[in-house]
A and B are shown apart, each in its own frame.
Chain A
Amino acid sequence: MRFTRTTAIAALLLAGACLRAQNLTDLRVAEIVAVNEHGPVDGFGQRNGWIEIFNNSNGTVKFGGCYLTDDKDDLTKYHIPASDRSTQVGPRQSVVFHAGGDASHGTYYTNFTLANGETVYLVSNDGRTIIDELAIPADLPADWSVVKVPAGVKKTDFTVGVSEKPTPGAYNGDVDAKTNSQIMKEKDPHGWVLTLISVCVVFFALAILAFIFTAIGKAGDREKPAKSPSGHVGKGAPTPEVAAAIAMALSHEDGEEVCAAIAMALEEYMGGVHDEESFVITIKPTPGSAWAGKEQGFRRLPR
């Protein structure tokens, strides 16, 4: 018993260790403008280059303690304050760092500036592991951005390109992308394909379930002990139903159900038939019964 419990706990711990949470590796350097001449200004009214970090997961990621740099030989160039509680980014959301060269302006202001031809690295909080990087083309025009655009079916892969219209802090994908409904309207205007697939899937799922439980039922039948020679259910060992009912009756949770369970157990044990819904006991008070009579609630005083 102890061995089983220890094994189970060990298995759980092992499974827990294998779990991969929403973590820093889900962050992407998603968009960069190196030369900002006519774009948005930062909180101090200055136009500087900026770096957008995108959370490519469906969970919130805390990035406090990570590093940003434009120098591969100095991966810890700008330390994102770990103490700042705002250093987290929601699922599929992004944050923007202004590259003005003065980190004293705040958490989201780097201590380095950007120039074409550089590469920006996002480094993990160990100061060594590069999470993601994005190279700025040497010929990138002013106010243009180099951008990673979500691609693939789940939009979790990226293609790198340049954009004439940067989108700091906003989703880099095609905001005019068609919805699934619009795509279905074009591909399957009358709905027959979806209907056919859906009906097949529903039948498939429920058929497999039916198959599994038919097999489990048959296996259970084989496991059942042979009936006693007399064939009388109530004369042998108690059935699981009876045992469960008696166990309920002996539990600490007293109440109406206990009485009903004892009654059902006795009924079953004596060979009676109960309804098929085991563990669901319905007690319907009968108005004419003395048990429900109001006089049962009165105190009888001696005259």
Chain B
Amino acid sequence: MSTVFDSLRQFWFFTGFANCTWQNLAMILIGIVFITIAIKKGWEPLLLVPIGFGMIIGNIPMFPGLNIGVYEDGSVLNTLYQGVKQGWYPPLIFLGIGAMTDFSALISQPRLLLIGAAAQMGIFGAYLLALLLGFDPNQAGAIGIIGGADGPTAIFLSSQLAPDLMGAIAVSAYSYMALVPVIQRPIMLALTTKEERLIRMPKPRQVSQKEKIIFPVVGFLLTAFIVPSGLPLLGMLFFGNLLKESGVTRRLAETARGPLIDVVTTLIGLTVGASTQADKFLTGNSVKIFILGLLSFVIATTCGVLFVKVWNLFLKGDRKINPLIGNAGVSAVPDSARVSEIVGREFDPDNHLLMHAMGPNVAGVIGSAVAAGILLGFLG
């Protein structure tokens, strides 16, 4: 009989109930909140559901040494986590993004690329603030990239510069990307006058297929030569786009933008969520990262809108740009462009800004990859 009780006692020590701490419960609760937000509100469900469930997986209290945790070498979760840790999930996602992105809006109005550049100030603003808060430069760089509003880029850079902060950075980046409509709208309204919001931009010209094919090749060569450290992201982004536009690799493009990106998104979301174990995530640094992440989005949006306003001072007639597309310079594709459209139509229901906003929006993807390359070059 005593053997039975001893065995049951031993079994008890292996259960999650015996090993549970309040931090585990807190993280599980956060995971449930993420899933709830994704399902109820529909905010970034493709990311928040895997991340939320990953948080729950990663915070199931367990007896150490069973070789099942995400940080235990050789475990299944650890093997899946290598794609995040070694940074090869993000480039695969960029391959899919390239294969699904139509750069026509940008090619037809190349000047809008500069708005995408201006919005990258969010990255460097957050970098400066993070240094002020006492983070090391490599950590500050990894935190700053949240302002790029690009989840894969944030994961890629933080896995290279500050792996310990990656969980908090990734969750922060994706959370604020989901909150783009909430964050950006008041800033856009505060910084623009009613007259500016009513500016109508000329219809973009039609882009030839030849230009669409040239764009990924020239874009890659140029950006990669300037910032070779951004090669994994830029290479995959433009390669994916070439698959899409070449017209002869349709099956490859469909795989890249379909099954491949779905698989990788699932795995990256799940493992990033699982990496947010309570002991590594519930720290003062995570709180600071969340605050800095929010500020980086605010700075990025502000700089994008203000840049257009200043630029407009030098433009005449129908060359003027509606500053409501300035927010789209952050690369949360296509959410921030959608915000431009929605806010624009609030004041003029017939003024469709979506196609114009897609220009700076996809420019933001390129800009944030370039910025990540620069930070990696300096701090890696």
**Which A residues form the contact surface with B (CB < 8 A)?**
179-182, 184-185, 188-192, 194-195, 197-199, 201-214, 216-217, 220-221, 240-241, 244, 253, 276-280
Q: What separation, in Å, do the CA atoms of A201 and B376 have in the docked complex?
A: 14
Cross-chain contact B210 with A220 (CB below 8 angstroms): yes
Beyond A184-B378, A199-B121, A216-B211: 7 further Cβ-contacts under 8 Å?
Answer: A179-B138, A205-B227, A206-B370, A209-B219, A212-B222, A217-B207, A276-B105
Give Cα distance in the complex from A182 to B138, angstroms.
Answer: 8
Which B105-162 residues sit within 8 Å CB-CB of chain A?
105-108, 110-114, 116-118, 120-121, 123-124, 127-128, 131-132, 136-138, 140, 161
List chain A residues, Cβ under 8 A from B250.
253
In the complex the two chains form, what is the Cα distance from A194 to B108 in whole Å? 32
Query: Given A197, A203, A220, which contacts B117 in the complex, CB threshold below 8 Å?
Result: A203
Instruction: Tell me which residues across on chain B come within 8 A of A279, comparing CB atoms.
Output: 102, 244-245
A-B pairs with beta carbons under 8 Å apart, 19 shown = A179-B138, A182-B136, A184-B379, A190-B128, A198-B371, A198-B374, A202-B120, A204-B226, A205-B226, A205-B227, A205-B370, A206-B366, A209-B110, A212-B218, A216-B211, A217-B207, A276-B355, A279-B245, A280-B102
Top-8 shortest CB links A-B: A181-B138, A210-B110, A213-B110, A210-B113, A195-B124, A206-B113, A206-B117, A184-B137
The interface size of chain B toward A, counting residues with CB under 8 Å, comes to 58
Closest-CB distance, A157 to chain B (whole angstroms):
20
Separation in Å of the B252 CB from the closest CB of chain A? Answer: 14
Which residues of the partner chain B approach A206 to less than 8 Å between Cβ atoms? 113-114, 116-117, 363, 366-367, 370
A184 CB contacts on chain B under 8 angstroms: 137, 378-379
**Smallest Cβ distance from B140 to chain A, in angstroms?**
7
Whether the pair A192, B210 counts as a contact (CB closer than 8 A) is: no
B129 nearest CB across to chain A (Å): 9
Asked if B265 is at the interface of the complex by the 8 Å CB criterion, the answer is no
CB distance from A301 to the nearest CB of B (A): 38
**Chain B residues positioned under 8 Å from A181 (CB to CB):** 136-138, 161, 379
Closest residue of chain B to A195 (Cβ to Cβ) is B124
A217 and B371 alpha carbons, distance in the complex (Å)? 27
B124 / chain A contacts, CB cutoff of 8 Å: 191, 194-195, 198-199
Residue in B110, B136, B207, B245 whose Cβ sees the most chain A Cβ within 10 Å: B110
Q: Check B214 for interface membership: any CB of A closer than 8 A.
A: yes
Q: Identify B370's interface contact among A190, A202, A217, A244, CB under 8 A.
A: A202
Evaluate contact between A192 and B107: CB separation under 8 angstroms: no
- In contact, A213 and B371 (Cβ under 8 angstroms): no
Q: How far is the CA of A190 from the CA of B132 in the complex (A)?
A: 7
Q: B370 contacts A278, CB within 8 Å? A: no
